[in-house]
Amino acid sequence: MGIMTVKEASQKWSVTPRRIGEYIREDRIDGAYKIGSAWVMPDDTQKPLNDKPGRKIKQASFTYIDLFAGIGGFHQAANSLGGKCLFACEIDPHAQRAYEANYGIVPYGDIATLNAAIVPDHDVLLAGFPCQAFSICGNMKGFDDTRGTLFFDVARILKEKKPKMCVLENVKQLSTHDGGNTLKTILKTLRDLGYSTHWRVLNALDYGLPQKRERTIIVGFHEVDVLFDFPKPTGAGDLKDILDPDDVVEPRFFASEHIQSRRRSMHTPKITPSIWHENKAGNISSYPYSCALRAGASYNYLLVNGVRRPTLRELLRLQGFPDTFEIVCNDSQTRKQAGNAVPVNVIKSVLQEVLRAWKDHGCETNRGRGSLNYTHWDKSPNAISLKSGG
């Protein structure tokens, strides 16, 4: 029996060397050992099974629901802390497909048609309600925009189910929109429902991700006033841990020679690796981190070292998704999903403090046991009510 290096295993199993490293750290490769600083394994080692539905998991320490779930940034954070997802809701069919493929849960579709009474009891409500109404990239209509009212769908579920905790996420501009009145309305609504609230603008760059992504985070505790503070910054992540070597990146991600030469003529980077950013005015800058990913334009305005666009996997890594996350949609949809996602590291850091504060207050979790997961929601009209509830 011979040995197999990480590079050889990567080629044999059609996964990245980074993923092989994760398999090793997860103790999922029997017989792996080090020769010097390099990991090797028996050459007949079989590829570990991916994390799929049905894999045995530990007893959950808390339960949660995932609203406006996207591809599961909240899910990634919560499950890494021992949570169990009982229900998810996401209207985009492509994001639904990615969510089901990775977590074995079929998200409910339009939250506006959801009867809040059918949502399982849960400990924590997680929701990244839609950004566009409050984003400088949108029309700044706020609550005058119909999407702005989707927060109140969150509120009616809180009213009906009364979860012990909630963590909400929105764009940075939520805190200043309409002179602060939009945020005041949200906080008042939560307080009227019995939640003590805390909010802060946090930057993914401060929590282990090399992406400048500022988001308003709102935390609520039901009918208790716990001692809570937001997590202390831990520093930016290293771009080197995100980027793959150019020689393993597919040619389709590289910019044309014309674009490369034009940008080199306009800008000289001070650091490598870096991500070059071209703004709407045509000005180019480069940093050892990414500017905020966007749903519709990240592919075009960001260039790695001025020569290529980030790969789909790199975009997901910039949001904190592990390489175990399975990409099942086309390039365009996956770029959109990455741009819309919540940064996993930020949510994990916040949720960790939320759970710690709740426990330190002497409160318990693990409310609700069964999950609500229909294979095809629209094919079960007799099983659930599709009228607005709460």
Active site residues: 131
Whole-number Å distance between alpha carbons of 174 and 180: 8
Beta carbons within 8 Å of 261's beta carbon, 6+ residues apart: none
Looking at residue 88, what DSSP letter applies? E
Question: What does R_g of the chain's alpha carbons equal in angstroms?
Answer: 22
Owner of token pair 């909400």: 168
Whole-number Å distance between alpha carbons of 91 and 109: 4
Whole-number Å distance between alpha carbons of 210 and 254: 21
In whole angstroms, how far apart are CA 82 and each of 59, 150, 153?
Answer: 8, 28, 27
User: Going by DSSP bridges, is the β-strand pair 214-222/165-171 parallel, antiparallel, or unpaired?
Assistant: antiparallel
Q: How does 341-377 read in b/e, with b if 16+ C-beta sit within 10 Å?
A: bbbbbbbbbbbebbbebbeeeebebebbeebbbeeeb
